[in-house]
Amino acid sequence: MKLAIGSDHAGFDQKQMLLQWLRDNGYEVQDFGTHSADSVDYPDYVHPLALAVERGEFARGILLCGSANGVCITANKHQGIRAGLAWEPEVASLIRQHNDANVVCVPARFVDEETARAIISQFLNTAFEGGRHQTRVDKISC
């Protein structure tokens, strides 16, 4: 599975850890930045990642920032993106099962590295349930 990952400065350290962990576990991952802990504007990194996922260049995306709200709001401006904010693994499962989320947003200031890995693992290994949820997902786009 090809993955896209990105963050702002608040998520940089956790992104670096996740990037290595994902690669060590056999995933092909492209880092959309940022590439340091210097303050940046998160939309500069979110829009290119979301566009690449929307175009089908990557199966799923992972975004990190302090609260994960900014990256989630920005990613969801793209018609083909269903980004969900997950602060624990069960939420990551639900955004896949019920919403067919293709981007997970992780609040780096509020979850430790172990929890972040568990969130990403659940997001990558949970299938969309379809059925009644498909009908709802079909109604999301404007």
Was 70 annotated as part of a binding site?
A: yes
Among residues 72, 98, 105, 133, the one annotated as catalytic is 98
Was 131 annotated as part of a binding site?
A: no
Was 68 annotated as part of a binding site?
A: yes
Decide if 142 is catalytic.
no
Decide if 72 is catalytic.
no
Among residues 65, 72, 78, 105, the one annotated as catalytic is 65
Was 99 annotated as part of a binding site?
A: yes
Q: 113 by DSSP, 3-state: which?
A: helix
Angle at 64 between CA 61 and CA 70, to 5 degrees: 100
Q: Which residues contact 15 (CB under 8 A, 6 or more apart)?
A: 5, 6, 7, 31, 62, 64, 108
Was 132 annotated as part of a binding site?
A: yes
Closest-CA residue to 63 (of 75, 54, 51): 75
Was 23 annotated as part of a binding site?
A: no
**DSSP run (H or E) holding 60:** strand 60-65
Was 67 annotated as part of a binding site?
A: yes
- Residues marked as binding? 8-9, 66-70, 99, 109, 132, 136
- Residues marked as binding for D-ribulose 5-phosphate? 8-9, 66-70, 99, 109, 132, 136
Active site residues: 65, 98
